[in-house]
Chain A
Amino acid sequence: KAGVTQTPRYLIKTRGQQVTLSCSPISGHRSVSWYQQTPGQGLQFLFEYFSETQRNKGNFPGRFSGRQFSNSRSEMNVSTLELGDSALYLCASSGGASVSETQYFGPGTRLLVL
């Protein structure tokens, strides 16, 4: 079974631009969570989608948004990029209805904002 895939793997943007990141979960998984990883703050939860509905949300500004499609693929969007948005963005999928089911992480998208 293929693992979680994320595209693109690397991205360079400038302040004020917007960016869309994509995540394809493991086949059959319906839950997708997004995390931001930085050296200073570690891994921080952004949001979780299950069956196309946002089920949970972290403490990030409204510039961060996401969605999930009927095939469980998910995208996250960051508008009006700031320098502090530079980070590794990870998505994780799980098969169950609860986040206490094992989460499988993708390799991440490394975003650099200049």
Chain B
Amino acid sequence: GENVEQHPSTLSVQEGDSAVIKCTYSDSASNYFPWYKQELGKGPQLIIDIRSNVGEKKDQRIAVTLNKTAKHFSLHITETQPEDSAVYFCAALSGRDDKIIFGKGTRLHILP
């Protein structure tokens, strides 16, 4: 079945530096790739998404890139701030069965 691999599982960066989280997917028919942020005690919140007809999307300090040939996509957070500390999940919508498959998550720590 569809599989989404996410790396790293934990990431620590200095405040103000950039953070990059990478994901790969197995289903070449996947066409929708959302990213979620989950803070302690809360449900995941969509922060950005990208569809297969574009290669990059940016929203202020957050950007996502998609390489369909290599079947990988990445989240870039620039000028990190303390409130960016959270668990981030990538996901892919399987083109075969219309299910959203999540990566295992990355715990991001922003160091003061």
Chain A residues within CB distance 8 Å of chain B = 4, 33, 35, 42-45, 55-56, 58, 90, 92, 98-100, 102-108
**Can you list 14 residue pairs at the A/B interface with Cβ under 8 Å?**
A35-B102, A42-B102, A42-B105, A43-B44, A43-B89, A44-B102, A45-B99, A45-B100, A58-B99, A99-B93, A102-B34, A103-B34, A104-B46, A106-B43
Instruction: Give A102 Cβ to nearest chain B Cβ, in Å.
Output: 6
Selected contact of A43 from candidates B32, B49, B97, B102, CB within 8 Å: B102
Instruction: Give B89 Cβ to nearest chain A Cβ, in Å.
Output: 6
Chain B residues within CB distance 8 Å of chain A = 31-32, 34, 36, 41-46, 49, 51, 89, 91, 93, 97-105
Prevailing SS type, chain B contact patch: strand
How many Å lie between the Cα of A92 and that of B89 in the bound state? 15
Determine the chain A residues whose CB is within 8 A of the CB of B44 once the complex forms.
43, 90, 105
Q: Contacts A42-B104, A42-B105, A43-B89 given: A103-B46 contact, CB under 8 Å?
A: yes
Q: Are A56 and B98 in contact (CB under 8 A)?
A: yes
Q: Contacts A4-B43, A105-B45, A107-B41 given: A100-B31 contact, CB under 8 Å?
A: yes
Q: Are A99 and B43 in contact (CB under 8 A)?
A: no
How many Å lie between the Cα of A108 and that of B40 in the bound state? 11
Q: Are A103 and B104 in contact (CB under 8 A)?
A: no
